[in-house]
Amino acid sequence: MRTFYGTDLPNPLMLGTAQYPSPAILEQAFRESGAGVATVSLRREGAGGAGQTFWQMISDLNVLILPNTAGCHTVKEAVTTAHMAREVFGTDWIKLELIGHTDSLQPDVFQLVEAARILTDDGFQVFPYTTDDLIVGERLLEAGCEVLMPWGAPIGSGRGLNNEYALRAMRAEFPDTPLVVDAGIGLPSHAAHAMELGYDAVLLNTAVARAGEPATMARAMKLAIEAGQLAHQADPIEARDMAEASTPVIGKAFLT
Contacts with another protein by CB under 8 A lie at 21-25, 27, 44-48, 50-54, 57, 156, 210, 212
44 vs 76, beta carbon nearer another protein: 44
25 vs 169, beta carbon nearer another protein: 25
Minimum distance from residue 210 beta carbon to another protein (Å): 8
Orientation of helix 109-121 relative to helix 134-142, angle to 10°: 20
47 vs 230, beta carbon nearer another protein: 47
28 vs 125, beta carbon nearer another protein: 28
Centre a 10 Å sphere on the Cβ of residue 47 and count the other Cβ atoms it contains.
Answer: 10
Minimum distance from residue 46 beta carbon to another protein (Å): 8
Minimum distance from residue 103 beta carbon to another protein (Å): 9
Minimum distance from residue 28 beta carbon to another protein (Å): 10
Which class for 121: exposed (0-12), middle (13-18), buried (19 or more C-beta within 10 A)?
exposed
Strand-pair category, 64-68 with 37-41: parallel
Give yes or no: 95 in active site: yes
128 forms beta bridges with: 96
Q: Which of 76, 95, 222, 252 is catalytic?
A: 95
Quick one: which of 31, 115, 36 has its CA closest to 72? Answer: 115
85 forms beta bridges with: none
Q: Which residues have a catalytic role annotated?
A: 95
